[in-house]
Structure 1
Amino acid sequence: MATGGAEGALDPVTAIALVGALGVGSQWLAWKLRMPAIVLMLVAGIVAGPILGVFDPARDIGPLYAPMISIAVAIILFEGGLTLNFHTLRDAAEGVKRLVFIGAPLGWLLSTLALRYGAGTSWESAAVFGGIMIVTGPTVIAPLLRSARLARRPGALLQWEAILNDPIGALAAVLAFEVVLVLRTAEQVGEAAWSLILGLVVACVLGAAGGYGTVWAFKRAKVPEFMKVPALFVAILAVFAASNLVLHESGLLAVTLMGIVIANADLPSFEEMRRFKEHATILLVSGVFILLAASLDFAALSQLTWRAGIFVVLVLSIARPVTVFAALAWTKLPWKEQVLVAFTGPRGVVLIAVAGLFGERLVELGVEDGALIGPLAFILVAASVVVHGFTLKPFARFLGLVASETPGVILVGGSNWTTGLAQALKKADIPVLVTDPNRGHLRRAREAGLETFFGDILSEGAEMRIELNGYKLVVAATDNDAYNTLVATDLGPHFGRENVYQIAREKAGTARHSLPATLGGRKFAGEATYNELNRLMWNDWTFRVTGLTEEYTMEDWRAKRPEARLLAWIDESGEIHFVSEDDEVSTAPGVRLVSMLPPEEAERGQDAA
């Protein structure tokens, strides 16, 4: 554990506050620097823990440390289960089944061999740790998918595999440990097998019962709205604890099943619960990574030899690819998607937490190299996180499997104005999609050769057919103010409220029609309404994209175009940013301005390129 005398110990409240600050701070810094958040969290934990000795979880938090890790992992897996709606499987269903039913056992075998012949561990330790290594880390996959903007199918494959294989890996370790226990203690094989089967059955029953019970209570208003999230938390903990009483670590399977049941029950209040759970999970993932990194024992790592490096290379470059290629062989999945999945297998929180637990238990049974499992797990997680964190996005781009090279814009509502804006953005190499539930409203956009979607942007069909990961910004600009508000409010959590805009409502200025700040999107186009924007189009206003240079500055542009309506600016990397005021715009050379010009200003000639 991290060193530090009792005189330097933090009180538990300060320690927990430090964990939160380091975790959330690392995520914010990673967002700012556009780096993998997991890498910064590992670095922050190691610096605060074993390097500086400021924070030692076992010393500063005490006996609550291990239970906190267990509960956090359970909630993380439950939230992962909540994301597994069967509708999202679509054409990835076959691949997911193969990765679970073929990939998991094969991965167990190959990981065991990598441990035995690469790291040089005993067969007992290799079999137990090899089972744990089935997991690919939903805590790591989720942030990587967000930053990489993968196409839907490979993203779905990685997400489903990570979440489903996490409890399977823990249970594989339980099975292997039970075998080692029988061999070491001469326990009856039948008794051990019965214990395992009973534990699995109980976990499945409790998970299903917890899920269906929650759905029944929520749908029939047996729980008031303000108590739904607290009641859900209690139910998760109850199912997790009850299942673990029968078979240790089976609670992970139970809570995952519970989440899947709830995700596919079409609960009216499901979105609110899922968003709250996502926020809680971000905090928990941050906290767990900081805790585990701060708990790193350099003395334990010093026990590892050069063979640990061989083990990591074998897992990342042979065991993982062979497992995926064998599991996905003779499927309809394109070879590029198979390659991407094969070389993307980061490990995360569950691997370290479960490995540490079983390592201690193996040592208690007399398996001396069980003490190496924890350090090997940390080395594997650190290596896989760094490798995949920095290579997934460029590798996916090289294979052509990103949803979009440049984050695009969704314009909700087909009209003269949205068609004109979409044409200007397309010429500026910004991906743009025009959507409308009225096919006639999309006629101009289709004639202009623009990407369109006929249907409701909030529908399940839109989620299935549109690569939402390829878009960053949304503008709700239909002729229905109430619908615009609904779209902006509903899509806000997915895209980030700072990235969802809405044209001004016709009657927003009156107290009778004003809405609270929690509804709708950000102000757009100088608070212009639908009728006003389209009236400008009827009066021959045009869209123009203007480049700024050292000679042609923002001041020059504004002096030449005093009546222009500035809508957005495009940075040097090609990413677009909508604005409300001029002072939100970067004025560096290379920036391009997207604006609407009155006919008299448009006739004065072209701006700087």
Structure 2
Amino acid sequence: MDTTVTIALAVGALVVLVAAVALRLSDRLGLPSLLIYLLLGVALGEAGFGVQFEDVGLTQTLGVAALVVILAEGGLTTRWSDVRRAVGPGLTLATVGVLVSIVVTAAIAVWLLDFSWEFALLLGAVVSSTDAAAVFATLRRLPLPRRMAASLEMESGLNDAPVILLVLVLSERLVGGETTSWWITAVEVVGELAGGSVLGVAIGFGGAWLLRRAALPLVGFYPLATLALCVLAFASADLVHTSGFVAVYLCGLVLGNSSLPHRAGTIGFAEGMASLAQIGLFVLLGLLVSPARLPEAVLPALLIGGALLLVARPLSVVASLAWFKVPWAQQAFISWAGLRGAVPIVLATFPIAAQVPGATRVFDIVFVLVVVFTVVQGGSLPAVARWLRIATPITPRDIDVESAPLDELGAELMQLRVPEGSRLHGVYLPELRLPEDAAVVLVVRDGKPFVPSAQTRLMRGDQALLVSARGSRAEAERRLRAVSRAGRLASWRGEAGAPTQED
């Protein structure tokens, strides 16, 4: 084998291992992991170990591929019960909020740095998109109101698409390419977003239907097939000139909230792939930067970042959320939690690839801005949440059911864990009132398995294995959810166990 390939494989493996260890270090130090990955890339680059890497086109391609995986994981791990209450705020933040942020940031850049309007709008567009990886990783560790957190997650999952289209249009204008009027551009953006939404939802529902009915030969194929469907949604949408980023996120959202076989394993696989994509992306971006140029970008980055954080972002949040009666404390937190990460740096490669004059300066400014303000914002979010008194610890009451088809028997195998706060605690098995062709066949308590009887009570922390006929699986799962939420008298209390309720 070629020695170069062997060395590349060894270096890649070492980078992943070091990044995994660095993740533990970042948790202890309270620093966002993306900074560790970026610094690792810088250390490998021209100012460190001397790796020369200047391929902007490759970075852009791999960056888009990594963002597809990250958005797919974001959709797969987002609960529809949270998102359905945050569709309005999240969508408005991703559209109206982005537009307000771009215009305000550009106006301040023109005023403070004497940029031309089109160049300032390009810079504003690049930095106005919140980063899905940073938002998902940071917010899900904090005990926040679900609707507010879901609004931020949905914003970060959807705002990449309109911003990418604007960056491409502005880059073309700045190099003197063929231009169209702004209203035609606006219509095209809306059309691409709508088309991507339709394709993503359609492929998501179609893929969920297929996975529920296909008995794949290996359990490991289910996670691969699920992620492949998300990638297919992106590719299909992009091929017909609609928004692939919207399509992949919505496809993941539909699949992640469907009753898929081996769902827990699929989610774990998606989270692992998203982490790997983040590591590779941030290390690659760290390699691409030239540290010798960064000192000149510090002052512009601080000015633009400060304007974005203290003026543009708050105004965009107020303009977006004033219609939804969001409390002022939550609006303040959303303003502070507009985290930037890989997305703005990847977007900054687009003008370089298009050979926009001054594009390298944009890249340097964005890189410094992301590093500085990730430290400022990311590390302070827990304290800000406490100061605003919006931290709301949530005790899980619902169950997480993983199912797998037993194709030859025409049956379904289900596994569940009784969480803290669940009203399944203390319920006798007959009181579950499962369908006649469904039964609990094994219980694992304190690491010890046993076959239950009619006198067995479920306890907190129990894991249970159930078998049901294929046609009764959905009814059995609904009954388990209902009892988990409302107890043995769930039906009297009007609890039907629908998966769209709070879980």
Same fold (TM over 0.5): yes
Partner SS state of residue 422, structure 2: strand
**Which has the higher mean CA deviation after the structures are superposed, 33-42 or 371-380?**
33-42
- Quote the offset at 1:164 in angstroms: 1.9
Give 2:446's match in structure 1, choosing from 491, 503, 506. 503
Spell out, residue by residue over 1:43-101, the C-alpha distance to the aligned partner (whole angstroms, 9 max, x if none).
Answer: 33333334423545558xx9865433221111111221223443113544443243234
Cα distance in 2 for partners of 1:482, 1:222 equals 22
Asked whether 1:335 is paired with 2:328, we answer yes
1:44 and 2:40 are equivalent in the alignment? yes
CA distance in 2, matches of 1:440, 1:11: 58
Shift of 1:372: 1.8
Check conservation: 2:90, 2:151, Cα contact below 8 A.
yes
Q: Cα offset for 1:216?
A: 3.0
Taking the TM superposition and a 5 Å limit, the aligned residue runs for 1:84-95 are: 84-89=78-83, 91-95=85-89
Match of residue 125, structure 1, among 119, 123, 128: 119
Matched residues in 1 for 2:348 and 2:34: separation? Answer: 19
Instruction: Identify if the C-alpha distance between structure 1 residues 125 and 81 changes in structure 2 by more than 3 Å, giving closer, same or farther.
Output: farther
Measure, in 1, the Cα distance between the counterparts of 2:180 and 2:57. 33
Residue ranges of structure 1 left out of the alignment (5+ in a row): 1-6, 413-431, 442-454, 457-479, 486-501, 509-518, 522-609
CA distance in 1, matches of 2:6, 2:332: 47
1:437 aligns with 2:424: yes
Is 1:271–2:264 an aligned residue pair?
A: yes
What whole-Å deviation, never above 9, does each CA across 1:117-174 have from its counterpart, x for those lacking one?
3444332232233223332111111221244333433322222221122223223323
Aligned to 2:386: 397
Measured in 2, the distance between the counterparts of 1:222 and 1:434 equals 35
Bigger RCO (CA 8 Å, 6+ sep) = 2
2:317, 2:184 → 1: CA distance?
32
Residue ranges of structure 2 left out of the alignment (5+ in a row) = 400-418, 433-438, 452-461, 465-503
Residue aligned with 1:436, SS: coil
CA distance in 1: counterparts of 2:449 and 2:303, whole angstroms: 66
SS of 2:297 mapped into structure 1? coil
Separation in 2, partners of 1:113, 1:9: 48
2:15 matched residue in structure 1: 19
- Aligned partner of 1:382 in structure 2 is 371
Q: Measure the CA separation in 1 of the matches of 2:318 and 2:292.
A: 38
Quote the offset at 1:11 in angstroms.
Answer: 3.5
Q: In 2 relative to 1, CA 185–153 (structure 1 residues): closer, same or farther, beyond 3 Å?
A: closer
Alignment of 1:295-310 (within 5 A): 295-304=288-297, 306-310=299-303
User: 1:27: how far off?
Assistant: 0.8
Q: How is 1:242-257 mapped onto 2 (pairs within 5 angstroms)?
A: 242-245=236-239, 247=241, 250-257=243-250
2:280 maps to 1:287: yes
Give 1:135-154 correspondences, 5 Å limit. Answer: 135-154=129-148
Residue in structure 1 matched with residue 107 of structure 2 by the alignment? 113
* CA-CA distance at 1:387 after TM superposition: 0.8
- Answering whether residue 259 of structure 2 is matched by residue 259 of structure 1, we say no
Match of 1:232 in 2: 226
Q: 1:359 to 1:49 in 2, by over 3 A?
A: same
After TM superposition, list the pairs within 5 Å mapping 1:473-552 onto structure 2.
Answer: 485=444, 502-503=445-446, 505=448, 507=450
Question: In 2, Cα distance between the equivalents of 1:250 and 1:386?
Answer: 31
Identify which range, 137-146 or 191-200, moves more after superposition: 191-200
Residues in 2 aligned to 1:22 and 1:54: alpha-carbon distance in whole angstroms: 18
Q: Which has the larger radius of gyration?
A: 1
Query: Residue 216 of structure 1: which of 197, 202, 209 is its match?
Result: 209
Q: Against the structure 1 CA distance between its residues 50 and 116, is the aligned structure 2 distance closer, same or farther, given a 3 Å change threshold?
A: farther
Instruction: Determine the structure 1 residue equivalent to 2:75.
Output: 81
* Cα distance change on mapping 1:397 and 1:373 into 2, 3 Å: same
Q: What is the DSSP-based 3-state SS (H/G/I as helix, E as strand, rest coil) of the residue aligned with 2:283?
A: helix
User: 1:168 aligned to 2:162?
Assistant: yes
2:327 pairs with 1:316: no
Please give the secondary structure, in 1, of the residue aligned with 2:324. Answer: coil
Structure 1 vs Structure 2 CA RMSD: 3.9
Q: Is the 8 A contact 1:140 1:348 kept in 2?
A: yes
SS of 2:332 mapped into structure 1: helix
Q: Are the aligned partners of 1:88 and 1:156 in contact in 2 as well (CA < 8 Å)?
A: yes
Equivalent AA in structure 2 for residue 159 of structure 1: E
- Deviation sequence 1:371-412 (CA, Å, 0-9, x none): 2221122122112210112110111112222234xx989999
2:407 is matched with which residue?
Answer: none
**Are the equivalent residues in 2 in contact too, given 1:122–1:369 (CA < 8 A)?**
no
The 1:215–1:22 alpha-carbon spacing in structure 2 relative to 1, beyond 3 Å, is same
CA distance in 1, matches of 2:191, 2:322: 34
| C-alpha contact (below 8 Å) 1:410/1:435 kept by paired residues | yes
> CA 1:317–1:189 in 2, change beyond 3 Å: closer, same or farther?
closer
* Conserved 8 A contact 1:337-1:401: yes
* Aligned match of 1:156: 150
Give aligned pairs, total.
Answer: 423
Distance 1:233 1:148 in 2: 27
Q: In the alignment, is the contact (CA less than 8 A) between 1:22 and 1:41 conserved in 2?
A: no
The change in CA–CA distance for 1:153 and 1:343 in structure 2 (over 3 A counts) is same
- CA distance in structure 2 between the partners assigned to 1:111 and 1:330 by the alignment: 23
